[in-house]
Amino acid sequence: MNLFLGEYEHNLDDRARVTLPRKIRAEITGEEIVLARGFEGCIFGFDKESWEKEAGKHLDTPVTDEKGRQVRRYLFAGAQKVEIDKLGRILLPVQLKDHSSIVREVKVIGAGDHFEIWDAKRWRAYASQMGEI
């Protein structure tokens, strides 16, 4: 099982790319990940295996369940596969970049079975609200 841990500060470059921290990349097999719209304005990042497990949980919910349909639409409509380049960078899709309000400073955090990409100011506000900082 992959386990994403830690907090890391990075910046977007002029082409909307961010370098994934080495410790995050170490948990990823392959050169492709799935980015999805997260909650509280972040971007979820999954390696392929973790994404398939997470997707399976939601696909097990009957299509007749209204809340299940809403979560599926939110999660799957906002998801995209992205490649990790040789320097460990990923391109943040415009839709997800806008969703997360990321401009320049980025916080990448481990969240167990996935990692999250936050606008650094938004993360500090959220963590402060939760009593973490």
Interval 20-62: pLDDT, tens = 999 999 999 899 999 999 999 999 999 999 999 988 888 888 8
Pick the CATH number of 7-129 from 3.40.1530.20, 1.10.1040.10, 3.40.1550.20, 3.40.47.10: 3.40.1550.20
36-64 in b/e form (b: 16+ CB < 10 A) is bbbeebbbbbbbeebbeebbeeeeeeeee
- Domains of the chain, by residue range, sit at 7-129
Whole-model pTM: value is 0.92
Give the pLDDT band of residue 87 (cuts 50, 70, 90).
Answer: very high
* 2-27 average pLDDT score: 95
